[in-house]
Amino acid sequence: MAFIWVDELWGSIYEKYPPGLIEFGCMVFTQVVGFWIPGTIYLGIDLLFPNFSNRHKIQSERRQPSRAQIVHCIKHVGLNEIVGLSIQLALRTAFGFQYSVFRVERQLPGLWTVVSDIVYGSLAGEFVFYYIHRAFHHPLVYTKVHKQHHQFTAPISFAGQYAHPVEHIFANLVPVIVPLALRGANLVSATIFVLYEIWQAAADHSGYDFVKLPPTKFHDLHHEKFRVYFGTIGLMDWLHGTDKVGWDKPKKAKVDDE
Ligand SMILES: [Zn+2]
Ligand SMILES: [Zn+2]
């Protein structure tokens, strides 16, 4: 029954609006539902339930950001959101909203299409994000761009998009959108994937130990220790051995006690 309702709603949107506008609406939807609403809930827990918050934060109370830092973060993230959405809107306006980088079809995608798009998006996104993120840690780029994101050594969920605008485009938007666009993924499955990825950014920066796959502690540790866990799902870090603190330090010579 619920499925018929969703199908009818999608049908009326498909018939009324051009593909580019539907795609833009879906991306705004993912930001509001995947980032701003969860970010507000996580922040609400921080501020309204401090005892519960302290019990469940991965890092200690004394490391948490001040209110002034939180307000500054939200303002900056709002600005990044405007920049990101304005670029997307400008690109679509240039094509008269008739073009979408995703496949926009009247029929809702089947389960296999959704699952294969999501699995592909997760693996390709992990690959692209890992190398872009590692490049941002190169000394030539780190201070100019990525240092801003690392100001939150104990992150809050809004810090998921607290970044230099260059980083916001290349590390937050490109790894999520470009692989799926190159595949010509279905817009509905792309929307589900982007929604998940954006929620993941909010959850990974929430600082909470709540159950999540992959665990929040991976990216939380990246903020605490910097040169560990550059990826999102742990796969590329496992392959490169960057999933352990101190991987880049010279190994101590073994003491020969014979
Ligand atoms: Zn981060
Ligand atoms: Zn980093």
Ligand 1 center to residue 160 CA distance, Å?
5
Ligand 2 center to residue 205 CA distance, Å?
12
Rounded CA-CA distance 131/141 in Å is: 13
Ligand 2 center to residue 89 CA distance, Å?
28
Ligand 1 center to residue 150 CA distance, Å?
7
Ligand 2 center to residue 63 CA distance, Å?
18
Rounded CA-CA distance 150/220 in Å is: 11
| Nearest-10 Cα torsion for 213, 217, 219, 225 | -160
Which residues lie below 8 Å from residue 172, measured CB to CB, with a gap of 6+?
A: 84, 161, 163, 201
Ligand 1 center to residue 99 CA distance, Å?
32
Express each pLDDT in 94-108 by its tens digit: 878 888 999 999 999
Q: At what angle are helices 111-136 and 187-204 packed, to 10 degrees?
A: 40
3 state SS of 63: helix
pLDDT along the chain (258 residues), means of 10: 84 95 95 96 94 91 91 94 88 86 94 96 97 96 95 93 91 94 96 95 91 82 92 94 89 54
C-beta separation of 58 from 208 below 8 A: yes
What residue type is 205 in one-letter code?
H
Helices (DSSP H) in the chain: which residue ranges? 2-16, 19-31, 37-48, 50-56, 67-94, 111-136, 139-142, 165-167, 174-183, 187-204, 217-225, 235-240
What local confidence, expressed as pLDDT, does residue 239 receive? Answer: 97
What local confidence, expressed as pLDDT, does residue 254 receive? Answer: 52
Ligand 2 center to residue 52 CA distance, Å?
28
Express each pLDDT in 194-240 by its tens digit: 999 999 999 999 999 887 777 888 998 999 998 999 999 999 999 99
What local confidence, expressed as pLDDT, does residue 186 receive? Answer: 96
Q: Which ligand is nearest to the CA of 73?
A: 1
Residue 258 lies in a domain: no
**The total number of structural domains that make up the chain:** 1
| Nearest-10 Cα torsion for 245, 69, 157, 224 | 10
Ligand 2 center to residue 51 CA distance, Å?
29
Residue 19 tokens, joined: 């593909």
Ligand 1 center to residue 206 CA distance, Å?
10
The range of the structural domain enclosing residue 184 comes to 2-240
Ligand 2 center to residue 71 CA distance, Å?
22
**Placement of tokens 């051995």 in the chain:** 241
Ligand 1 center to residue 155 CA distance, Å?
7
Q: Which ligand is nearest to the CA of 232?
A: 1
Residue 166 lies in a domain: yes
Q: Is the dihedral of CA 126, 237, 155, 83 positive or negative?
A: negative
What local confidence, expressed as pLDDT, does residue 258 receive? Answer: 39
Ligand 2 center to residue 7 CA distance, Å?
41
> Quick one: what percent of the chain has pLDDT higher than 70?
97
Residue 66 lies in a domain: yes
Ligand 2 center to residue 203 CA distance, Å?
16
Residue 180 lies in a domain: yes
Residue 257 lies in a domain: no
- Burial call 220-243: b when 16+ CB within 10 Å, e when fewer: bbbbbeeebbbbbbbbbbeeeebb
Residue 152 lies in a domain: yes
Ligand 2 center to residue 171 CA distance, Å?
10
Ligand 1 center to residue 11 CA distance, Å?
38
Residue 252 lies in a domain: no
Q: Which ligand is nearest to the CA of 226?
A: 2
3 state SS of 103: strand
What residue type is 151 in one-letter code?
Q
Residue 255 lies in a domain: no
Ligand 2 center to residue 219 CA distance, Å?
9
